[in-house]
Chains A and B, each alone.
Chain A
């Protein structure tokens, strides 16, 4: 059991009448990047807050590094790093002061903190911002600073809640690169996200959550293989014509999904499906053929899209 980093059995979190996390089971192994994928309100953040020993467990069994968060909160927190969804830096203070104060909260001597700050600022590409106030920094810089802050205690596990929400694509890729490096250094990553591309990029293994429950578990590739076809043909019809067209595409693919604005044909060979579509004389306004993603897995399992 000690070789599991996190072990949850029938883990439950209730807020009054609302059940945010409903008897979930999962395990995180050392050194892996583990993801919680799901839409907003699925219970991902509540689960993460319990793992981070900041939110008491309502019921069920939870061990983090073999320890019970209810009894060993400070000890667990001293060995993990947390990157919260909501930015909570001290904006009045400088980049350096934010790291210094956080390090002091962990009881680290100033000398040790100063050494680590130099490395962390380099890692977060904030070397020339050391003495800048935090407030005017860009969203991407603040997020990297929060990650640097979460690493000040050299944690065994880094917990990231929606790490790239609100960032532009360039900032996201930079962040992914930094997270990948951490993983290479042996830091276990636990990530929540509602972006399927983020989950596919970063996670070795993930669980898909919906309405407080885990609906599937596995590697991104295994999940796609298990719950979707290899490829997808997306069809868009002129407004008002979709309903009529749906009847005419029936039986063309292994599975058909009808969304408000488009029709998805699941097939292992999208080009072949397109050819058969043409043979039937159906001409959509636009077609896109692509590979299946975790978004399709989610749609299959829950009947809804990830991002509304």
Chain B
């Protein structure tokens, strides 16, 4: 019965957030607006003019918005599962402090992932509202795309927590964002269908969790066919959550229980 102690860790996340939310307001509320304006409206105009005979059957803004939702969920989760975890293990050592109480490592891991999931859910709902306001989706469809975005976030939160718990120092974190999160953001079907990529990259894209998150969000938010069978995407993301959590538990134990 790990539930109650893990909930105390969720509560901790919420209390810290109540102090620090100002710092993330811009990324939560302003970034979706900026992206949808710049890419969806600005760049979209060019795209829509050029592809009137192309394979995009809907306005670019509409195509882009659900994909950006999944990508935003990924970025939020990766951010919250990396630097704060490093702080808990190494910089502030707050995890060490917590482990001197009745809490155990699995309470920390589940509680932390639970908190990140709540954060991602909040960011996704805000994003869905903004994309509805832009007229990219109907309110109901916008809301429908929130759960797959949250699942995408959880998949990344678990994997990034496992990764961060293995690091010796923070250089590995910038590596993660530079060579992991940013390329995924650009090449997982958010801005253009992966079918436009050279074959070998296309296959690489199919292997990324973000591609499946984008496919689910877009398929649920718009009346377009899923890029892959949604059940496969769902199972794939769930597998990332399960394996990521398992690795996070092992790596955290190795780092914290000495």
Question: Residues on A close to B: CB < 8 A?
Answer: 15, 49, 52, 54-56, 73-75, 77-78, 82, 84, 86, 88-93, 97, 100-102, 104-107, 149, 153
Contacts and interface: CB of A to CB of B under 8 A. Distances in A.
Given A74-B102, A101-B15, 9 more contacts: A75-B102, A82-B100, A88-B92, A89-B92, A101-B11, A104-B12, A105-B103, A106-B102, A107-B4
Which of A56, A90, A91, A107 counts the most B-chain CB atoms under 10 A from its CB? A90
Interface string B185-198: 00000000000000
Contacts of A153: 101
B101 A106 contact: yes
A55 B253 CA distance: 11
Nearest to A150: B100
Contacts of A100: 15
Contact of B101 (A56, A77, A86): A77
A83 to B, nearest CB: 9
Contacts of A56: 257
Interface in B88-108: 92-94, 96-104
A91 B19 CA distance: 12
Nearest to B4: A107
B15 A93 contact: yes
Q: Which of B97, B98, B99, B103 has the most CB of A within 10 A?
A: B97
B93 A54 contact: no
B175 interface: no
Contact of B97 (A15, A49, A102, A104): A102
Nearest first, the 9 closest Cβ-Cβ pairs linking A and B are A88-B93, A105-B101, A74-B102, A82-B100, A88-B97, A78-B102, A104-B8, A77-B102, A101-B12
Contacts of B93: 86, 88
Interface of B: 4-5, 8, 11-12, 15-16, 19-20, 92-94, 96-104, 257-258
Contact of B8 (A77, A82, A88, A107): A107
Most chain B CB neighbours (cut-off 10 Å) among A75, A88, A97 = A88
A17 to B, nearest CB: 15
B257 A88 contact: no
Main secondary structure of the interface of B (DSSP, over half): helix
Nearest to A103: B101
A78 B5 CA distance: 12
B102 A54 contact: no
A54 B257 contact: yes
Nearest to B12: A101
B258 A88 contact: no
Contacts of B4: 107
A104 B97 CA distance: 13
Contacts of A93: 15-16, 19
A105 B102 contact: yes
21 contacts: A55-B258, A74-B102, A74-B103, A74-B104, A77-B100, A77-B101, A77-B102, A82-B100, A84-B96, A84-B97, A86-B93, A86-B96, A93-B15, A93-B16, A102-B101, A105-B8, A105-B12, A105-B98, A105-B103, A107-B4, A107-B8
Given A104-B11, A105-B8, A90 B16 contact: yes
B189 to A, nearest CB: 37
Contacts of A84: 96-97, 100
Given A15-B258, A86-B93, A88-B92, A54 B12 contact: no
A86 B20 CA distance: 24
A97 B20 CA distance: 13
Contact of B94 (A73, A74, A88, A107): A88
A86 B258 CA distance: 15
Nearest to A133: B19
A55 B257 contact: yes
A93 B15 CA distance: 9
A73 B104 contact: yes
Contacts of B15: 93, 97, 100-101
A153 B102 CA distance: 11
A84 B258 CA distance: 15
A107 B98 CA distance: 12
A91 to B, nearest CB: 6
A86 B15 CA distance: 23
A82 B98 CA distance: 11
Nearest to B98: A105
A280 to B, nearest CB: 55
A177 to B, nearest CB: 24
